[in-house]
Amino acid sequence: MLKIGHEVVRPGKFRGDAPVTIPVPEELETVPGIPLNLREVDWYAREYPLETMNITERASRDWANTIRDGHTEMREIRKEHDKLNRPLIMAARLTGEQEPTADSTGEDVTELIKEKARDLGFLEVGITAYDHKYTYQSKKDWVKFPHVICLAYEQDFEPTQTIPSVDAEIVHSSTYRTEGAAGLELGRFINSLGYRAQVHSPNDNTGPYIPMFVEAGLGQLGACGYLLTPHEGSRCRLMMITTDAEITYDKPVDYGIHAFCQVCQVCVNRCPGRALMRDKIWWRGLEKNKLYFKRCRPVMARYLGCGICMKTCPIQKYGLQNTMEHYAETGQVLGKGTHDLEGYTLEGKGYFGPGELPVFDRGFFDMPHGDTEEWAFEQFKEKAKAAGGVITDELIEELREEVNRGLSQSRDNLEMMEEVDYI
């Protein structure tokens, strides 16, 4: 039995459930939240502000959508999701203008908001200061209020275990819609308490959410790039509400995850794209396992959104309490090396058990890069080079059309794909 350094007590999974106690072995203790160098976070936020990859990597996004639309079932699912989800996104965009519908009493409403969130089906709810350092440049002027309510909604267990699959993609998108509707209702509830509430749709992100979720004590960042929450690990969809309500902030927690991932490494070993880093690096002022985006996106595009790093995580499958208790008792990672945890099937490739990974052809990882305009110029240069440096009117016209297409593209983030933390 390992020596326990501290215990974390969290509310039970559902309202009325007894609280859960998570033992954190001493050897896994690091810091509450994530190791941070605030001066670096500040510097990067000023000099290299974050931007959504729906803009900066638009060329590969369009490419991936074309590939996914070649899958007949997925194309229909995506069309249906977009149709149903668009009104939720549009409604959320207007919530910042909504006036309160009652007078506030001036009392702290933290518990009222948290209880309502749980009644609406949110699994985790925590509150902290909204940190503008994590706002995308294109959304800089959008966020109005100083506090943020961080919300996580559970994605159903069974379909998630079939990742990557059509069933998992269906539950993935329907969870977003259910969550989006619940978030709008929570916003209206906050209005009824006498305060303003701006709902950030889970499909129209204002920035990378995870740092604020970690600050609000809802989990820690996993090696897979997802937030790992105590009850469901990465099997959650996240959204936020910013507000001017009278509330109390939560604090970051050391769940032991930051160190545990370095022992576990299951997602790193199972990733078909070899896209996850074994070791942590310092990136924009945070210590984390960084993702190789160029090795992830082609797999996500070709294999139903992939998500194998979510499916193979023991914390997703067994919960943090079971995983930590098992580690404390045995020094082993629960489920590691078993087909139950590590096995997966890739459509057209077959089944891969523990220790087995698919091999891809040369060219599998080739994809467009940069935003649409950058990629158009890149193609233009290649074609001009192939023509011996001769720039024809036809080439210029092609470039003009592509650049115009890029400039006129909507910047809506109606995108189900970017799940992994790409900051």
Contact residues for ligand SF4, defined by CB under 6 A: 222-224, 260-261, 264-267, 271-273, 275-276, 291, 296, 299-300, 306-309, 312-315, 420
* Nearest approach, Cβ of residue 327 and ligand SF4 (Å): 10
d(CA 400, CA 258): 48
Which 8-state DSSP code applies to residue 133? Answer: G
Mutual orientation of helices 372-386 and 58-69 as an angle, nearest 10°? 90
* Nearest approach, Cβ of residue 22 and ligand SF4 (Å): 14
Mutual orientation of helices 166-192 and 72-94 as an angle, nearest 10°? 10
* Nearest approach, Cβ of residue 14 and ligand SF4 (Å): 23
User: Between 139 and 290, whose beta carbon lies closer to ligand SF4?
Assistant: 290
Instruction: Give me the sign of the Cα torsion angle 86, 88, 90, 92.
Output: negative
Report DSSP letters for 190-245, one per residue.
HHHTT--EEEE-TTS-SS--HHHHHHTTS-EE-TTSSEEBTTTBT-EEEEEEEE--
Distance (Å) of CA 301 to CA 67, 293, 297, 359: 6, 12, 6, 16
* Nearest approach, Cβ of residue 374 and ligand SF4 (Å): 23
User: Between 148 and 306, whose beta carbon lies closer to ligand SF4?
Assistant: 306
User: Between 224 and 241, whose beta carbon lies closer to ligand SF4?
Assistant: 224
Distance (Å) of CA 52 to CA 1, 138, 206, 295: 45, 8, 8, 18
* Nearest approach, Cβ of residue 290 and ligand SF4 (Å): 11
Q: For the chain, how far is it from start to end, CA to CA, in angstroms?
A: 37
User: Between 183 and 307, whose beta carbon lies closer to ligand SF4?
Assistant: 307
Contact criterion met (CB below 8 Å) for 59 and 375: yes
User: Between 8 and 271, whose beta carbon lies closer to ligand SF4?
Assistant: 271
Could you identify the residue written with the tokens 């050897």? 27
**Could you tell me how many residues make up the chain?**
423
* Nearest approach, Cβ of residue 36 and ligand SF4 (Å): 19
Structure tokens that stand for 375 in this block: 């990629």
Name the nearest CA neighbour of 281 among 26, 34, 97.
34
* Nearest approach, Cβ of residue 184 and ligand SF4 (Å): 29
User: Between 121 and 358, whose beta carbon lies closer to ligand SF4?
Assistant: 358
User: Between 84 and 333, whose beta carbon lies closer to ligand SF4?
Assistant: 333
Amino acid present at 4 = I
* Nearest approach, Cβ of residue 168 and ligand SF4 (Å): 12
* Nearest approach, Cβ of residue 360 and ligand SF4 (Å): 11
* Nearest approach, Cβ of residue 65 and ligand SF4 (Å): 16
Name residues whose C-beta falls within 8 Å of residue 199's C-beta, 6 or more positions apart in sequence: 91, 92, 95, 183, 184, 186, 187, 239, 241
User: Between 123 and 221, whose beta carbon lies closer to ligand SF4?
Assistant: 221
User: Between 64 and 117, whose beta carbon lies closer to ligand SF4?
Assistant: 64
User: Between 148 and 299, whose beta carbon lies closer to ligand SF4?
Assistant: 299
What are residue 351's DSSP bridge partners? 345
